[in-house]
Amino acid sequence: MTVLHPTLSRTLLPAHSRARDLALIVGGAAFVAVLAQGSIPLQPVPLTLQTLGVLLVGAALGWKRAFAALALYVAAGAAGLPVYAGGSSGFLNPAGTGLRASLGYLIGFPFAAALVGFLVERFALDRRFLGTALAMLAGNVVIYLFGLPVLGALTGLEEQALLTAGLTPFLLGDTLKLLLAATLLPGLWAVLRR
């Protein structure tokens, strides 16, 4: 795919090198890990800022580096580093009672970030409020497309109960995070244009 519009990272750091790409990937994973530590322990899945990080990393790094950054983040947590919400790690429930309810959401993160990165590189959606909001909404949809089916499979919740447990509690927070990103990213581009 031809990149039609540079991302923030490519604009700020135009010199291409493997070392720069690696630093951006590791930095993106670390950024999401830091935001994941701010969480409200809802059940069965906590409310965190990590999805904001996922979507911002997608917009800032572009689809390839964003996918790699979030794959690294998920792999680091799976390997035991305390990078998931509340300093947790691993794919097993912290209580040791099977797979964690957030597993599907975690698996969806690289794909959501890649989609946002693709939309930014292809259509420059991060330059304006509405475009950024649409890109962030698309990324959130991807996270739920992975998260809800896995949550249902792990908990046995039926459709309505699944939506009540795995979607509804997060809609207000996701809306606020979307509005924050839709204000922040075009604002950064406005500063860069000056």
Residue 103 maps to which CATH number?
Answer: 1.10.1760.20
Q: Is 80 inside any structural domain? A: yes
Per-residue pLDDT of 124-183, as tens digits, reads 999 999 999 999 999 999 999 999 999 999 999 999 999 999 999 899 889 999 999 999
Q: Is 1 inside any structural domain? A: no
Q: Is 52 inside any structural domain? A: yes
Q: Is 60 inside any structural domain? A: yes
- What mean pLDDT is reported for the chain? 92
How many domains does the chain divide into?
1
Q: Is 187 inside any structural domain? A: yes
Q: Is 88 inside any structural domain? A: yes
Residue range of the domain that includes 122? 8-193
Rounded Cα distance between 66 and 110, Å, is 7
Q: Does the pLDDT of residue 1 top 70, yes or no?
A: no
Per-residue pLDDT of 108-120, as tens digits, reads 999 999 999 999 9
39, containing H or E segment: strand 39-40
Q: Exposed, middle or buried: residue 64 (CB in 10 Å: 0-12, 13-18, 19+)? A: middle
Rounded Cα distance between 60 and 4, Å, is 15
pTM over 0.75: yes
Q: Is 50 inside any structural domain? A: yes
Q: Is 2 inside any structural domain? A: no
